[in-house]
Every structure is written in structure tokens, then in C-alpha cells.
Amino acid sequence: MQHFEDNFWHYQNNKLFCENIPIEEIILAEGSPAYIYSKASIIKRCKEFTNAFSEVNHKVFFAVKSNSNLNVIRIIYNMGFGLDVNSGGEFTRAIRAGAHPSRMIMTGVGKTLDEIRMAVENDMLMIKAESKEEVEQINKIAGELGKIAPVALRVNPDIVVQTHPNISTAKSGVKFGMDPAPAMDLYLNRERYPNVEFTGIDVHLGSQILSFDPYFVTLKKLHTFVKRLEEHGLKLKHIDLGGGFGSPYHGGDRFHIQEFGKQAAPLMNDFGCDIFFEPGRFLTANCGAIVSKVLYTKESGSKNIVILDSSMTEILRPILYQSYHDILPVEKDDNRERISYDVVGPVCESSDYLAKGRELQKAKPDDLLALMSAGAYASVMSSNYNVRRKPPEIIVDGDTWHVTRSRETYDYLLYDERVIDDLTAIP
């Protein structure tokens, strides 16, 4: 099973460990539910990624949207990666994590003027633009600030990617990027935007991609596009291939990054400029788990239900993408019978489930279960629906572990709200 491939997650005497720490120890101290991440796993994936492109002039920008924990950001940044930030909030977190804007790029289909100003003012390495209007705004803001903003147009290559439709972003008609023709028009009429330097071109095909094909098709399309720009005197400094490199959730493969790097290197080197990547999930998905406690079990019709203390508010992926996450007992008991369960949370929504028809060892209250591969797009999508407190985030580092974010308190959730007597008085 993929969680055990590098031994970052493993069983010792039937007890689940992250690196050298028994999960039970963390939950006894910090309560349940909790997100737990392995630092060694993140480091391993970072090394795999950069090694795969050792023959290519490249820069990697971690997609902060996949996991914006300050210490996760900082570990990856300290591995020499840059950061791809998608909002003013992610930028602020990246700064708090100690990152420098010169190693950041700004993504986002709907950047506000404040966010553009933030990127230009702080001299980010590159800002993506996804429409003519956005280029006009960047040009205006850069002019006001007396700067030249480095811009890459995000182009939609109009290709079909075999992944869940909710995470496919490269087909014409979606909100992301711009069609190649208007993008070409902007590049060719670049003198209209004196405060913008078109430094690159960007694509992002979608997420959880396992095949090389969409990247190869895109590289070839980009090649034709970029050669045409060169004929018109524009030599770009970077081609940004985005992220999307898949991770295993239900057995299966991780994107074969090493092999891809080898096969794609000639095409990439042919551009004669830097190649940028923006992986998120590849680096973090399999590093983490969300550990929850069984509150109750019951039967409903023909179904066995197990109710956990975590729910769609802690991990939305199962209902958003019908995603599969392995569920492992924190203490394995081979003597217990195995039963098919619908695994649900306490939230008042009938769609609030984490798994359906999942065979698990017979559960009883207070059992701990680890829902695996929760290092990407899990805590970042958590919500306070039903006024639930977001769980703590813990990073294990060999023989030690650290609480990097505490469980929210009810006071924290109420910190900026007030009851107004005049408003609530009934005349």
C-alpha cells in the first residue's frame, strides 16, 4: 500500500506509526480529530521532483493552495523551492513562513486589484494574467507604482485530461486561462502595455494526472506558439507547465516523474528557456492523514454506519470529487471480524460521508481511524460549518512531533462578532 512504501507510515506491533511516533501518543496529547504530516515524506517527494528534471533548466514552485500550513511551506521552501500563491492570503502566509517574494509567482483566475498591487509592489518573480482586462489592470497598477511587472499569460491549451471533471482545467470553455488567439494578440501588441514585460507563458492542465500524454500534447502546442512569438521578436524567459502530477490514493501509481523528466527533457530544452513547475499534491498528498475517533456505530436498514468525530468539514474531497481515501485502524486487531461500513461524520448533511461501503475491522466507540492521503486539499478546504472547530495540524519529524497549529477554540471562532442590543431589540 502506498502509505507504507517509504515506511513513513507503518505498523509496529499492530500500532500505526508516523515515522517513529505512535499515532496514539499524539491523539492522547492533542485530542481528535487531528491532521498529522510526515516531514520525511515531504522531503522525499521534493527530492524526487527536482531530481527528475536534473537535465532541464527548471524552477519548482510549490502550489501553496494544496497545503498552506506555515511549516509545510517552510520545509518545502527550505528545500530550494519557490512558491505559487493563489491569493493575498496565501501570499501573507508565505511571507509569514519566511519566504521572499522574489521566489514567488502569483496565480488566480480572479485576482483583486489589491492582490495585483501586492504582487507588483513586492516584486514577485512573475504574475499570471488570465484575460486582457487583467493585463490592463496589471499595466495600470505597475504604472502607478513606477514598476515593470513580469507577466505570463495563462493559456488554455484546449485538451482533454483523464481526471475527475471537477479538477480538469484545460478544456476550452472553462473559466481558467485564455484561448490561444487572444493571448497571441496580447503578446504581439505588447507595446500597448509599457508597464508589463511578458516574461513567460503558463498552462495548468488539471490535477491528479497520471498520464504523460496531456503534458506532451501541451508541450508541442506551446512549442508552435512560442516559435511564432520568437518570429515576432519576443523571446520568453520561462514556460510554466503548472502542476497536476498525480499521487496514489487507492493503491495505484504515483505520476512517474523520473521517467517523465527523462522523456520530456529534449522537448523542454528545445524552448531554450527555464521550465517552471507548480506541483502541489505530488509533494504533500501522501505525507498526511486525518486521524479521527469513532463516536458511535449503528445499523440503518441494511447498512452499517460508523460515525466519526471528523466529517466533510475536515475533508471535503470525498463528497466534492468522490475521492477514495484508505482508512486504517490506529490499532489493528486481526481477531475482529471485518464489516462493510458507510463512514460518516457528525455534520447535519446527508452527503456528509468519508467513505461508502468500506470494509473495515469491526468498529467500536473510541477506536481511532486514520484517513490516509490527507496532506493535500484537506485542511486547506476545511470549514467551520455547524460551528465546528478546525483540528490541529501536527508535523512528525523522526523521533519528535510538533503542533504547528492548535485546535481552534470557540472564543477564536467568535472573536470578531458582537451582539448589538439596538439591532436585536424588538420594538
Closest by Cα among 223, 221, 212, 287 to 245:
212
C-alpha cell at 165: 471533471
- Tell me if residue 359 falls in helix, strand or coil: strand
Q: Beta 338-344 vs 9-12: how paired, if at all? A: unpaired
Close Cβ partners of 132 (under 8 Å, ≥ 6 residues apart): 178, 182, 186
Sole window of 275-283, 293-301, 321-329, 350-358 interacting with ligand PLP (rule: CB under 6 A): 275-283
Q: Note whether 281 binds ligand PLP by CB under 6 A.
A: yes
Residues 103-122: x/- map of binding to ligand PLP (CB under 6 A)? ----x---------------
C-alpha cell at 278: 507548480
Q: Note whether 242 binds ligand PLP by CB under 6 A.
A: yes
Residues 42-81: x/- map of binding to ligand PLP (CB under 6 A)? ---------------------x-xx---------------
Residue selected from 180, 244, 288, 345 as contacting ligand PLP according to rule CB under 6 A: 244
Close Cβ partners of 244 (under 8 Å, ≥ 6 residues apart): 161, 163, 204, 205, 206, 207, 208, 209, 279
User: Hey, which residues are catalytic here?
Assistant: 348
In the block, residue with C-alpha cell 487531528: 34
Residue selected from 82, 88, 243, 329 as contacting ligand PLP according to rule CB under 6 A: 243
Dihedral of the alpha carbons of 206, 211, 214, 217, in degrees to the nearest 10: 160
C-alpha cell at 238: 520561462
CB of 169 to ligand PLP, least distance (A): 6
Q: Which is nearer to ligand PLP, 8 or 377 (CB)?
A: 377
In the block, residue with C-alpha cell 485530461: 161
Sole window of 276-284, 324-332, 383-391, 413-421 interacting with ligand PLP (rule: CB under 6 A): 276-284
Q: Note whether 84 binds ligand PLP by CB under 6 A.
A: yes
Q: Note whether 245 binds ligand PLP by CB under 6 A.
A: yes
Q: Note whether 279 binds ligand PLP by CB under 6 A.
A: yes
Instruction: For residues 196 and 248, give the distance between their C-alpha atoms in angstroms, rounded to a whole number.
Output: 40
CB of 12 to ligand PLP, least distance (A): 31
Applying CB under 6 A, the residues found at the interface with ligand PLP are: 63, 65-66, 84, 107, 204, 207, 242-245, 278-282, 376
